[in-house]
Amino acid sequence: MYPSRFRYEAPRSLDEALTLLRDGGEDAKVLAGGQSLVPLMKLRFASPELIVDINNVPDLAYHRQDPDGTLHVGALCRHAELERSGLLRDTQPTMAAAAPLIADPLVRNRGTLVGSLCHADPQGDWASVTMALGGSVIAQGPAGRRAIPVADFVTGPFQNVLARDEIVVEAVIPPAQGTRAGGYLKLERRVGDFATAGVAVALELSGELVAAAGLALTGVGGSTIAATEAGQALVGQALTSAVIEEAATLAAAAARPKSDHRGSAEYKRHIVRTFVVRILTAAAPAAGPADAADAERAA
């Protein structure tokens, strides 16, 4: 199907883009990678009258780290840039694990992390990853910039708290207090598919102890789920099989899956539990092979 008729603007500055959005009101939409918006328009699930393409706005295609370890991901930083990033490989294990699992190479070449957060698909992988890491988005509007934690940004499936005249200019991941560990696992029916279930775990380790922990779940609820109690159960603990099991049980209990063509609710909950065990077992600096194997068997 073809999209409905729309006006297309490609501003060359952020100010111009914001003005166009403000004047466009309810019927204006930002276009970044277009990998979610364009399919929706072709299906006529979205029929904006004005498209504000931000691809010509300078200085949005970056990811970089401050000296204190804060990571910034600009609104035009593509999934592929993050997939190839040595910086992520060295400093952000959860993000580095997720980047190659987003869609397929074609989508990764155009789609953006920030666009994925704005799209707020419950099956979007970056929302759970950035939520587990305690990330925020920086929104710019006529009144200036504001930081919104990812946990507060998404209000439901395909819904976020952005005002009509705001653009997200970047996502920010705060620095770790300890050594970063963790990962992202995703079950997909075939390579490139959306998640049947996904689990993001972001740990900060101080020696053998967990100093901070964030867990978030993809595709097992009406929106991305923060498994807060599972994270709390890890803090101050060494990653023994008993601790890992408790966190996995709490994460599975936090999931709100529905049975569908991808699997039954019970199966998806089981996958969440198994993935938590796998990620934490791999992250455990002190877990001996026998201890780790026990946890894996119990999952």
Residue 140 near ligand FAD by CB under 6 A: no
Q: Which stretch binds ligand FAD (CB under 6 A): 83-91, 107-115, 238-246, 274-282?
A: 107-115
Binding of ligand FAD by 124 (CB under 6 A): yes
| Kind plus residue range of the DSSP H or E element containing 21 | helix 14-24
Is residue 71 involved in binding ligand FAD (CB under 6 A)? no
Smallest separation, CB 154 to ligand FAD (Å): 12
Chain positions 142 to 201 lying near ligand FAD, rule: CB under 6 A, are 162, 167-168, 194
Token pair belonging to 141: 């509007």
Nearest residue to ligand FAD on Cβ basis:
111
Q: Is residue 287 a contact residue for ligand FAD (CB under 6 A)?
A: no
CB of 233 to ligand FAD, least distance (A): 27
Query: Does 129 sit near ligand FAD (CB under 6 A)?
Result: no
Burial of 34 per CB tally in 10 Å (0-12, 13-18, 19+) = middle
Query: What are residue 294's phi and psi, to 5 degrees?
Result: -60, -45
Give how many residues touch ligand FAD by CB under 6 A. Answer: 28
CA distance 237 to 168: 36
Quick one: which of 103, 176, 254, 299 contacts ligand FAD (CB under 6 A)? 103
What gap in Å lies between CA 160 and CA 179, rounded to an integer? 32
And the tokens for 102?
């987003």
Interface with ligand FAD, residue 73, by CB under 6 A: no
Q: Kindly report the number of other CB atoms within 10 A of residue 147's CB atom.
A: 11
Among 24, 74, 93, 115, binds ligand FAD (CB under 6 A): 115
Site residues for ligand FAD, 209-238, by CB under 6 A, read none
The answer for residues whose C-beta is within 8 angstroms of residue 141's C-beta and 6 or more apart is 18, 163, 165, 166, 167
Which listed residue (17, 20, 32, 227) binds ligand FAD by CB under 6 A? 32
Binding segment for ligand FAD among 5-13, 31-39, 66-74, 271-279 (CB under 6 A)? 31-39
DSSP conformation letters of 163-211 = -TT-EEEEEEEPPPSSEEEEEEEEE-SSTTPPPSEEEEEEEEEETTEEE
Using the minimum distance from each CB to ligand FAD, give the nearer residue, 34 or 178.
34
- 29: its two tokens: 């939409």
Query: In terms of Cα–Cα distance, which of 97, 87, 65, 96 is closest to 172?
Result: 65
Binding site for ligand FAD (CB under 6 A): 29-37, 39, 75, 102-103, 107, 111-112, 114-116, 118-119, 124-126, 162, 167-168, 194
